[in-house]
A and B are shown apart, each in its own frame.
Chain A
Amino acid sequence: MTTLLLSQEERERAEKKARRRNIGYSYLFLLPYLILLAMFGVIPISYAFGLSFIDTIDYVFYGAANYEFVFSDFRIVRSLTNVLTFVALWVTLTILGVVTLSLMLDNIGKRAAGTLRTLYFLPGAISTSALVVLWIFVLDPAVSPFQGIMHVFGWETLADTVFTIGMPAVFMLMAFFTGAGGWIVVFGGALSGISTDVVEAARVDGANRAQLALRIKLPLIWRSVILMGILSFAAGMQIFVEPQLMGMARGPFTMPDWSLNQMAYLYAFNMGDFGASAALSSLLVGFSISIALVVIFKTKFYDID
């Protein structure tokens, strides 16, 4: 009988043990992810960070010389402006476009919504490089299926179209149609997870479709919206394929140093300066991580409602 009666102290110890075991299990389940994160995330980033302080030609400590070189490059401000303009346009369009389309799809019949989602997703299944080539044709008034509209604006050549719209906006269109479909599918999932009780209750209380979407559904999926914003921002900062492949249209579309990532590539594979390349890459990663941290902690992303 007495064995079942544990003292206060003993009970606390047992509870602590159980809690520790649970945490241990959590880490066990996380292990495969953590190994991959270390192999393809933490180790390469740390390696690059270390490399950024080294002169990669003679392999000696170089202090901040690589960073100084990057900051003194006359193209840095230009590329940064290009990339930031693109990111601002693209993230805004992605958030507005994907949220609007998803909320509207949630309002129509299940079968029609499913078909449309698949259609939206299709461009995302094609590789970005192929899409860029496709876009070059779409934007060229000489061969475009939209040439009628372009001729109304008086656009005769690819240069007319691209430079009137602006390079960042062109890349925004390319990236939006590639990436939006995938997010629309994700948001379809998030919206279908909303309890029917809540939706029914709102409807009974007299909410119309717009109010239902904006006041009830949107606040319930805001975490997905933030997540999409962070991931799009990080991906957008690394834009490389689009400007690089625009060069296939030759002439004024040749832009080997349009984006920061292209510059990091040029440093390493054109100039042969892997240290400077590592410095610029470290700055890019650092910037993206800091923005993500700010957004997560300022929005109480992980708090439980």
Chain B
Amino acid sequence: MNTSKVLKYATLAVGTITGSAAVAQDITLNVWADSVRVPMFETYDKDGVDLNITTISAPDLVAKIQLAMQAGTEVPDVVFFNNVSYTSLLATRRSNFVLDLSDLIPQEVEDAYSTNANTVCEIDGKLMCLRNDVAQFHIWYNAPLIEELGETLPTTWEEYEAFGARVAEKGMSIGSATQEFPMMNFLASSGCNFAAPVEGEENTLRIDLSTEACLRPAEMVDRMAENGSLARVGLFDPAFAELYRNNKVPFLLGPSWFAEHVIRPSFGAPEGQTGAALPPRWADQDQPTTWHWGGGTYAGWRNTEHPEAVADLIEWVATDVTLQTTAVTMPAHEASSVAWGAAIAADPWYANDQTYNVMLEAVQFSDVNYVSLRINLEAAFAGTVGKAAATGESVVGALPALEQELTNQAKLNGYTVVK
């Protein structure tokens, strides 16, 4: 700390002495990103700014940032977070990494995002990062199979359950009862507060799984796991892939990246099969609410020497339309998203040319409670409701354990918990 300060002043002093004579020096920003995002940064071309880009594999990212901050050297100025929780995880007293971008990035930039697409970057009213891509849940369906069954896609969860019951008799499945994020989506769709930030109160979460809003979807999952319409294995389990390949999955609720990154490469769906439809709503709701499964963000280092340059780079990489058009997942910045969607609409692999329009419509229903949390939601769901569903036990019965786990985790990580 002290040495770096001394060095900083020394550099400043040298700068003032020689500054008048020398030409403006290029500044260098250290950038850490995963292998997918590195080529994006490589195309950054701005006078006076050099990027020193390092590829960091996703699982090591947080550990490496912690170590760099401890060591005080080679701390990255700009990072790509592959997990939305990292922003809040790295904005605490213990690990104070993230740069507050509120005054560095104009409001117009945020306004240009799709509805609730940047909630993961807002922490207690401050803008702490910019989102790269959205991952909203909606329906991915197998068009020829739906036609063959003579079925129509559900628009409500009640129809969803009924659809499942009908096809389960034919040995078919429409999703997983054990997978954590789809489970969060079931609960969130009904307005269940499993870790909802409280408006206007800093560091406060509402966690209450005893409400009807939580019981209703949990009971539905139990019934559907019982009759087999939701599989007791995860979506990435070889057994589920087998079902999909054998034409036993008429549709499923998946994130926006599910077609390009799972159905196409892993499940091997042929051309003209896969289509998108809006996520279901509950019969008593006006519109659906949809959860997200992932999405990356860009953040800066709070002690960077060049905050303006950092903000400029983050804004560019997250919202540059030309750059984002070729992104591998659906951009969160709406104009970029529309440009990106042209390729999806024109791709004959999809069942029709409406796929992207549906995806764009679905993202408008994004849950405002999908935020960056210092809680490992995935692990909490996996160890309680996920485990219950996998071992043939009741999800409803595991809700108190989930509430306990989430409450404990929230308190441990410094949140105030309210019911």
Contact = CB atoms under 8 A, between A and B. Distances in A.
B379 A257 contact: yes
Interface residues of A, number: 28
Contacts of A57: 93-94, 96
A272 B92 contact: yes
Given A74-B408, A252-B178, A254-B378, A163 B387 contact: yes
Given A142-B238, A273-B94, A252 B69 contact: no
Contacts of B390: 157, 159, 163, 251-252
Contacts of A157: 232-233, 237, 239, 390
B132 to A, nearest CB: 22
Interface stretch (A27-35, A123-131, A263-271): A263-271
A269 B86 CA distance: 12
Contacts of A121: none
B236 interface: yes
B157 to A, nearest CB: 23
A274 B412 contact: no
A273 B70 CA distance: 10
A200 interface: no
A277 to B, nearest CB: 10
Interface in B49-101: 62-63, 66-67, 69-70, 89-90, 92-96
A6 B397 CA distance: 90
B354 interface: no
Contact of B386 (A251, A256, A268, A270): A251
Contacts of A250: 234, 236
A73 interface: yes
B66 A163 contact: no
A274 B89 CA distance: 15
B248 to A, nearest CB: 15
B63 A269 contact: yes
B387 A159 contact: yes
Contact of B391 (A56, A143, A159, A253): A159
A255 interface: yes
A253 B179 CA distance: 11
A142 B239 contact: yes
Given A57-B93, A271-B95, A272-B69, A251 B234 contact: yes
Interface in B360-375: none
Contacts of A272: 66, 69, 90, 92, 94-95
B179 A255 contact: no
A251 B93 contact: no
Interface in B376-406: 376, 378-379, 382-383, 386-387, 390-391
B62 A159 contact: no
A93 to B, nearest CB: 25
Nearest to A163: B391
B222 interface: no
B133 interface: no
A157 B412 CA distance: 34
Contacts of B94: 57, 271-273
B315 interface: no
A160 interface: yes
B391 A160 contact: yes
Nearest to A73: B412
A144 to B, nearest CB: 12
Interface in B165-191: 178-180
Contacts of A252: 178, 382-383, 386-387, 390-391
Contact of B89 (A158, A163, A270): A270
A5 to B, nearest CB: 69
Contacts of A75: 408, 412
Given A254-B378, A269-B63, A270-B89, A143 B238 contact: yes
Interface in B202-251: 232-234, 236-239
Nearest to A256: B379
Contacts of B96: 57
Contacts of B233: 157, 159, 251
B11 to A, nearest CB: 24
Given A157-B232, A159-B390, A163-B391, A254 B239 contact: no
Interface in B236-285: 236-239
Given A252-B382, A269-B66, A272-B95, 9 more contacts: A57-B94, A140-B238, A159-B391, A163-B387, A250-B234, A251-B237, A254-B378, A256-B379, A271-B89
25 contacts: A56-B70, A57-B93, A74-B412, A75-B408, A142-B239, A157-B233, A157-B239, A159-B178, A159-B233, A163-B391, A251-B178, A251-B233, A251-B390, A252-B178, A252-B386, A252-B387, A252-B390, A252-B391, A255-B383, A269-B62, A269-B63, A271-B89, A271-B94, A271-B413, A272-B95
Interface of A: 56-57, 73-75, 140, 142-143, 157-160, 163, 250-257, 268-274
Interface of B: 62-63, 66-67, 69-70, 89-90, 92-96, 178-180, 232-234, 236-239, 376, 378-379, 382-383, 386-387, 390-391, 408, 411-413
For the complex of A and B, the 3 pairs showing the least CB-CB separation, nearest first, are: A272-B95, A269-B63, A159-B390
